[in-house]
Amino acid sequence: MDPKWNDDLPIYRQLRDRVVEMILERVLVDGDALPSVRNVAAEYRLNPLTVLKGYQELVDEGLVEKKRGRGMFVTSGARLQLLKDERQRFLEMEWPKISAAINRLGLDTADLLKQANDQEAAGQGGKDD
């Protein structure tokens, strides 16, 4: 996790978002334990309640489960659920802006796809799912 915090968003939310990124990037997979609240709080000089609040959001979303006395663990299917949710969010929130920019700039979608495929083939593309 990156120790730099953004002042525009509560730290507990940034912590939650970083765990989500770790799940999406397969740093954490189904059944993996999250770092303990105490360790994260000490490492990043955070109040343990802040860390717990971030983790609790993950529990509330069904991405992480608490195991009494053992810690918190990534639930089975968390990555697939996140991909589904993130894809939907992208299509609803991001794609309309991107599509409008493509149209406004008169870009050819076939050329954009070719360029994206060329970049991916050269090793510059994103991660697969």
CATH classification number, 11-77, choose in 1.10.10.10, 3.40.50.1860, 3.40.50.620, 1.10.530.10: 1.10.10.10
Taking the model in full, what pTM does it have? 0.74
pLDDT 10s digit of each residue in the chain, 129 long? 556 888 899 999 999 999 999 999 999 999 999 999 999 999 999 999 999 999 999 999 999 999 999 999 999 999 999 999 989 999 999 999 999 999 999 999 898 999 999 998 988 655 555
Looking from the CA of 43 toward its CB, the CA atoms found within 13 Å total: 12
